[in-house]
Structure 1
Amino acid sequence: MEVKSESRNYSVMSEIGTGAYGTVYKARDCESGKVVALKKVRLHTGEEGIPMSTLREIGLLKHLGQLEPQNIVRLLDVCYGGISGNNEMNLTLVFEYIDMDLSTYLDRCPSPGLEPSKIKELAHQLVSGVDFLHSHRIIHRDLKPQNILVNCDGHLKLADFGLARVYGFQMALTSVVVTLWYRAPEVLLQSQYATPVDLWSVGCIFAELFRRKPLFCGTSDVDQLYKIFDVIGLPLEEDWPEVSLPWSSFRPSPPRPLKLYVSDICPQGLDLLQRLLCFTPADRLTATQALAHGYFRDDTASPSSASSEASSSSQSSAEGDSQGSNPELVCR
């Protein structure tokens, strides 16, 4: 199968995955020979036209691509195929190809897990990507391991910007954002929110780098709150008076040591995690503050040098052969 844009042709090699949004393929640019990822979006034409989430993702990624960020996936091309006989519009987004998502990366790492230095490198890149977005007034709103891409050299990039928004001080934002297990308390409570929602998700993902499984696994908004309160404790009403939490519906719960749930984390990493998983958004670290935390200044790892090395290897990964890669993960 071939996909064409106004200037390039792409030959599909294999299917990577599928979902409600459509299907992602591994493909090759017929002109340059580079391997790319094609995100074929399912669109049914009608009065509403192209979904706002798709337009938003294209617009944001085109804007960000001009700034050449290190930890944001690059949108290379957009292919519009017109309208078919069954009244479907064919729209394909062409991205740089990156080996796997973070969830797969963690699954492929054998026990007992990633080296502490590798966790630090990945966490630094994750926070750097979020800091870049927030510095340009963009909230991702759906950070989770499946939306974070990692190549075989450990270079990490944020992806899937369908829910991302450029925010303003008086903007009303929808409450139906962020996959449940990574959803901040203020979103679960349908309260006002801003960039701190991304930092809560970062905290959940940071813990998952050590655990290799999610920290809070609720089955509904209420159950997710229970799972959070079981770990960090039920906050006092005076700590967040503006939130409409039905306090009497939740049993009093003292905080438990996060070390019980993330046993291999170092003291500096534990402090960072606690500051990211603050129930009250105003008390949560910003991405800039997180980057300045002592955990990343510790000499046991050098995230900045790792990021630059990973950056230089990203291009060679994108040009990999058609058989894909067999990553050797840095594990303990």
Structure 2
Amino acid sequence: MSRTWESNRIRAVTRCSFVGGGAEMGQTSQDYDVVEEIGTGSYGIVYKARDQVSGLVVALKQIRVQGSASGVPATTFREIGLLKRLCRLRCQLVVKLLNVITTPLPENSDIQITLVFEHVEQDLASFISSFPPPCLPDELVKSIEFKILKGLDFLHSNRIVHRDLKPQNVLVSDRGQVVKLADFGLSRMYSSNSVLTTVVVTLWYRAPEVLLNAAYATPVDIWSAACIFAELASRTALLQGNTELEQLRKIFRLLGSPAEEAWPQSSSIPWRSFSGEAGVPLSTAVPNLTGNGQDLLREMLRFDPTQRITAQDSVNHVYFEGMSLP
């Protein structure tokens, strides 16, 4: 790890500056003062920092890459490409990429790629856990879920599937008024003949078609959004399996076993392994949702992805009547 972080500062030697949704390449230097570490994972570390020139508070996603730029993982290139595209499209519901910084590390041939994002106070998981009991107000649940689905509608209409939607990847302001989809490391552009990997989506928010190793597309994001919807209403995750098989079992115990003809033929898991589950009413599992909310949740949790409601139809559901973006 570069010692620059110990002095709470990153000094960039290459900066890709996004202006008006486009990109300008130029050799310059820029200092950011790190305020605190706000997240970590297999991808690297995220810091809250302040731009010394503008004073703007930003989030820095730092990725260390061994060797030269040719060794940068394809997922990093893909994420940067998608974020640049989204920046040009100017969606207020997607976290904005401000800069891409490449810093050679002096002690070896490694490089450090830093993605500079606009800063939002917290992720949705922290927001939910810190909210006073017993539950979030109905209008707040409705507002946040509406914005998540509007964000998904924007992505899907531009042929982008997020593939890792979960509360930790949704950013919200202190009062929940600002909502932005984030972390596009697993996101992909797709087409009708795309072949997509099954190693996507955090387990609790993973759609059954992914768990069954079947073909999938944008409906996987709707399933994840449904799990978030239920979590907003109940303050606890809807389906908490420890393994893929256990997660499938929890899904079918909730929804009931699907008909054999609906089972994906490409799946190596036999239908009989999960037959016979009667399911429970969603009103029992998520009692805090209103009648229209229950109906929307049911449509979002359809086992058959072709029958699952789309993001566009979701935001037009009667549950969101009167809702609009500012």
> Normalized against structure 2, the TM-score is what?
0.89
CA distance in 2, matches of 1:94, 1:198: 25
Partners in 2 of 1:86 and 1:269 — Cα distance?
Answer: 55
SS in 2 for 1:110: coil
How far does residue 34 in structure 1 lie from its aligned partner after superposition?
0.8
Query: Where in structure 1 do 4 or more consecutive aligned residues deviate above 6 Å?
Result: none
Deviation at 1:171, TM superposition (A): 1.1
Among candidates 296, 299, 302, match of residue 275 of structure 1? 299
Distance 2:108 2:129 in 1: 39
1:241 CA drift (Å): 5.5
Aligned to 1:189: 212
Confirm or deny that 1:296 pairs with 2:320. yes
Distance 1:185 1:226, change over 3 A: same
Asked if 2 retains the 8 angstrom alpha-carbon contact of 1:78 and 1:94, the reply is yes
Does structure 1 retain, via aligned residues, the 8 Å contact 2:258–2:275? no
Gaps in structure 2 of 5+ consecutive residues? 1-7, 16-27
CA contact (8 A) 1:127 1:291 kept: yes
Partner of residue 42, structure 1 = 64
Partner of 1:232: 255
Q: Is the 8 A contact 1:13 1:28 kept in 2?
A: yes
Deviation at 1:105, TM superposition (A): 0.3
Note the C-alpha offset of 1:144. Answer: 0.2
1:329 aligned partner: none
Q: Which residue of 2 aligns with 1:140?
A: 162
| Residues 187 and 193 in structure 1, CA contact (< 8 A), matched pair in contact too | yes
Distance apart, 1:249 and its partner CA: 1.8
Q: Following TM superposition, by how much is the alpha carbon of 1:85 offset from its aligned partner in structure 2, in angstroms?
A: 2.3
Corresponding residue number in structure 2 for 1:33: 55
Partners of 1:264 and 1:59 lie apart in 2 by: 40
- Using the alignment, how far apart are the partners of 1:37 and 1:58 within structure 2? 15
- Count residues with an aligned counterpart: 302
Q: Could you tell me which residue of structure 1 aligns to residue 21 of structure 2?
A: none
Alignment partner of 1:257 is 2:277: no
Q: Give the Å deviation of 1:84.
A: 3.7
How big is the shift at 1:71? Answer: 0.5
Matches within 5 A, 1:134-213: 134-154=156-176, 155-213=178-236
Work out the CA distance in 1 between the residues paired with 2:248 and 2:215.
17
**Alignment partner of 2:34: what SS?**
strand
In structure 2, distance between residues paired with 1:7 and 1:64: 25
Q: Distance in 2 between matches of 1:51 and 1:241?
A: 32
**Larger relative contact order (C-alpha < 8 A, sep ≥ 6)?**
1
Q: Return the letter of the residue paired with 1:35.
A: V
Give 2:81's match in structure 1, choosing from 49, 59, 62: 59
Structure 1 residue 140, shift from structure 2 partner: 0.2
Contact 2:203 2:241 in 1 (8 A): yes
Three-state SS of the structure 2 residue aligned to 1:66 is helix
User: AA paired with 1:303?
Assistant: M
What is the CA deviation profile of residues 294-332 of structure 1, one whole-angstrom value per residue up to 9, with x for unaligned ones? 0001xxxx431xx41xxxxxxxxxxxxxxxxxxxxxxxx
Q: Quick one: distance in 1 between partners of 2:70 and 2:90?
A: 32
User: How much does 1:70 deviate?
Assistant: 1.4
State whether residues 263 and 271 of structure 2, in contact with CA within 8 Å, keep that contact through their aligned partners in structure 1.
Answer: no
Q: 2: distance between equivalents of 1:197 and 1:247? A: 20
Q: Which amino acid in the other structure matches residue 92 of structure 1?
A: T
1:116 to 128, 138, 144: 138
What is the CA–CA distance in structure 2 between the aligned matches of 1:216 and 1:243, rounded to whole Å? 24
1:74-153 equivalences under 5 Å are: 74-153=96-175
Q: Which residue does the alignment assign to 2:92?
A: 70
CA distance in 1, matches of 2:42, 2:215: 27
Q: Distance in 1 between matches of 2:44 and 2:108?
A: 16
2:157 alignment partner AA: S
Distance 1:194 1:48 in 2: 30
Task: Give the 5 Å matches for 1:208-223.
Answer: 208-223=231-246
Structure 2 equivalent of residue 10 of structure 1: 32
CA distances 1:50-93 after superposition (whole Å, capped 9, x unpaired): 11111111110111111110100000001100244244211111
Residue 319 of structure 1 is matched in structure 2 by none
| Alpha-carbon spacing, 1:190–1:47, altered in 2? closer, same or farther (3 Å) | farther
Residues of 1 paired with 2:212 and 2:264: CA distance?
A: 13
Name the counterpart of 1:20.
Answer: 42
Partner of 1:242: 265
SS of the aligned residue for 1:283 comes to coil
Residues 1:280 and 1:11: Cα distance change in structure 2 (over 3 Å): same
**SS of the residue 2:306 aligns to:** helix
Judge conservation of contact 1:125–1:303 (CA < 8 Å) in 2: no
